[in-house]
Chain A
Amino acid sequence: MGTDERFQELLADMKDGVIEYDEDRVKIAAQAVVDEGFDAYVGIMDGLAAGMEVVGELFDSQEYFVPEVLMCADALYGGLDILRPNVDMAGREAIKGEVVIGVVEGDVHDIGKNLVKMMFEVAGFTVHDLGADVPIDDFVEAQISTNSDIVALSAMMTTTMMGMKKAIIKLKEKNPNVMIMLGGAPVTGEIADMFGADGYSENASNAVSEAIKMVGALRKM
């Protein structure tokens, strides 16, 4: 079997392993990518991320639901943990951007945030996850210390959603150029505009495309 053929086989194993939430299959293939000297970055993008893209489509068409997507995410992370330390960034396109992400203070619902975080990581962003129930000042501090391009805020309840408005004011006070993105059940595009956010994500898949647009806009400034 030729080298390219072998690599394609491993990419397919990782892609299908993610789709079928077969963590063992993904890990075995990811380890083989490393051991046999194949490009780990391509492994992430054309294996794991390609699988996750299909998972996203299955989720949108309501064939997969949250439990299945969580299983796929575990399979993906199984591979990512093996491949990421072996990625050679020299000559690659620049990292897409830095993101601080968290669930606003008072709120502990974090499945959505965790899925968005995973999408960002797979897409090549560097993510600083502050977790759930995060005080507004912690978002500000993290943005300053990481110099992140984007701060992504999540809330699931109307009571905690108002914290987003306050967070945006404080974040922009310290750094007017930071891009802020909102997500979560009570949030709509209209509410995001009203609060002064720069972007709004209806779901995990479009969070990444929104974020890429934002970072693109930032880099032009």
Chain B
Amino acid sequence: MQHKEADRVPCAPLASGAARRVLGVTYAEYAQDADLAAQSQIQWVELTGSDAVCTFLDLSVEAADYGQEVKFPIEDTPQAVFKHPFITSTDDYARLPVINPRKTTRMSVNLRYLELMVNAIGKQKAVLGFIYGPLSTLSQMRSAEKLFLDCMREPDKVHEGLEIVTQMLLDYVDAQVERGAIGIVMDTLFCSGSIMSRDLWMKMEGPYVERIAQKIHGAGLAIMIHNCGNNPYFDVQIETMKPEAISIAYLPNECPTYADLKKTWGDKVMIVGIIPPSQVLFMGSTSDVKEACKEQIQALAPGGGFLLSSGCEFPPNASLLNAIAMMEAAEEYGRYPIE
């Protein structure tokens, strides 16, 4: 993060659900039990040698604690049941309850998971917490489609919900700081060209993530934005959150190549990624993985400020050999100075 060259490029294939397969528990168990989640992640780090972990479980954690119905498939990612949305009308935004993340079901498990990870490996590895952006959290309770229409038709009502969720997320940040995270990953997927205009995002989510970011920085922690949308908006995310790092799966439109990305944004923020989860990590061979890693290391690593990682969560059901291949690629091609 200091934009200096260390001995080699750091590498972290960021696993959530994939870690469960090292320990050998089901996804449903991993997602709901802090001890099993921590044991899974500790074994993931032991198997792969990953330099960093993020205690991300899945995207429905915050929403579940508001009362959104969530299903827990045995071997698949937990997800909101949109047939039964918690927010059924725009009047419901203002009625969201005040909840305490230290005491609610899923967030308290997530916090305990973070605490266990910091205790176990916090001195040797970077342990990052996670929060889902306030607008995205609302989407888990309303469905993205209806939320977007609400943003267009009744933005004031959505803002009422955003304020309530932000107050909770500020508290959630405090709780993660208390447990020793060195940084927090904040997911702001909607700040991308695959979702909405910069203008709409700045109006709807910008002010709230700015406050959350100030809280995180105020506590001395780093911010890593995760945005796996097409054409992520670097400019407004940096303007509002001043992150130390941005993790992406796709290049922003203004940077058609990795070299362009390094040139345009590489000195302003640590770049994290960008190995394609589906085509390479899920469908590819270990050689495909190494090839992709080599290309990105050569373009993005010189001068430091690059963390080689999966573009999004390491696919939960991908071959674990591909995670190991990423670490091997960092060793083989990522020794500084980069050739």
A-B contact count (CB 8 A): 72
Is B197's CB under 8 angstroms from A65's CB? yes
What does the 1/0 interface line of B169-204 toward A look like (CB < 8 Å)? 000000000000000000000000111110010000
User: Which residues of B sit under 8 angstroms from A160, Cβ to Cβ?
Assistant: 76
User: Which residues of A sit under 8 angstroms from B283, Cβ to Cβ?
Assistant: 191, 194
* A67 in contact (CB, < 8 A): yes
User: Which residues of A sit under 8 angstroms from B153, Cβ to Cβ?
Assistant: 71
User: Which residues of A sit under 8 angstroms from B197, Cβ to Cβ?
Assistant: 65, 68
Interface residues of A in 60-77 (CB under 8 A from B): 62, 65-68, 70-71, 74
User: Which residues of B sit under 8 angstroms from A111, Cβ to Cβ?
Assistant: 144-145
User: Which residues of B sit under 8 angstroms from A3, Cβ to Cβ?
Assistant: none
Cα-based distance from A127 to B178 in the complex (angstroms): 53
User: Which residues of B sit under 8 angstroms from A161, Cβ to Cβ?
Assistant: 278, 282
Q: Of the candidates A71, A162, A187, A188, which one forms a contact with B152 in the assembled complex, judged by CB atoms under 8 Å apart?
A: A71
Residue picked from B80, B148, B196, most chain A C-beta under 10 Å: B148
Is A67's CB under 8 angstroms from B279's CB? no
Q: Tell me the minimal C-beta distance from B16 to chain A in angstroms.
A: 12
* B264 in contact (CB, < 8 A): no
B-side interface size class: 20 to 34
Q: Tell me the minimal C-beta distance from B56 to chain A in angstroms.
A: 15
* B273 in contact (CB, < 8 A): no
Is B278's CB under 8 angstroms from A114's CB? no
* B79 in contact (CB, < 8 A): yes
Q: Tell me the minimal C-beta distance from A156 to chain B in angstroms.
A: 10
Q: Of the candidates B17, B80, B151, which one forms a contact with A108 in the assembled complex, judged by CB atoms under 8 Å apart?
A: B80
Question: Interface residue count for A (Cβ, 8 Å)?
Answer: 29
User: Which residues of B sit under 8 angstroms from A159, Cβ to Cβ?
Assistant: 17, 76-77, 315-317
* B234 in contact (CB, < 8 A): no
User: Which residues of B sit under 8 angstroms from A66, Cβ to Cβ?
Assistant: 148, 194-196
Q: Tell me the minimal C-beta distance from B181 to chain A in angstroms.
A: 27
A111-B144, A159-B317 given as contacts; is B82 within 8 A of A67 (CB)? no
* A150 in contact (CB, < 8 A): no
Is A65's CB under 8 angstroms from B149's CB? no
* B318 in contact (CB, < 8 A): yes
Q: Of the candidates A21, A114, A187, which one forms a contact with B145 in the assembled complex, judged by CB atoms under 8 Å apart?
A: A114
User: Which residues of B sit under 8 angstroms from A65, Cβ to Cβ?
Assistant: 193, 195-197, 200
* B90 in contact (CB, < 8 A): no
Is A67's CB under 8 angstroms from B148's CB? yes
* B73 in contact (CB, < 8 A): yes
Cα-based distance from A132 to B77 in the complex (angstroms): 15
* A110 in contact (CB, < 8 A): yes
* B257 in contact (CB, < 8 A): no
Cα-based distance from A161 to B317 in the complex (angstroms): 11
Cα-based distance from A212 to B114 in the complex (angstroms): 52
* B277 in contact (CB, < 8 A): yes
User: Which residues of B sit under 8 angstroms from A157, Cβ to Cβ?
Assistant: 77
What does the 1/0 interface line of A106-127 toward B look like (CB < 8 Å)? 1011110010000000000000
Q: Of the candidates A71, A110, A132, A186, which one forms a contact with B282 in the assembled complex, judged by CB atoms under 8 Å apart?
A: A186
Is B279's CB under 8 angstroms from A191's CB? yes
* A158 in contact (CB, < 8 A): yes
Interface residues of A in 25-69 (CB under 8 A from B): 62, 65-68
6 other A-B residue contacts (CB within 8 Å) besides A132-B82, A159-B315, A187-B278:
A65-B195, A67-B152, A68-B197, A108-B80, A158-B277, A188-B278
Could you list which residues of chain A lie within 8 angstroms of chain B, going by C-beta atoms?
21, 62, 65-68, 70-71, 74, 106, 108-111, 114, 132, 157-162, 185-188, 190-191, 194
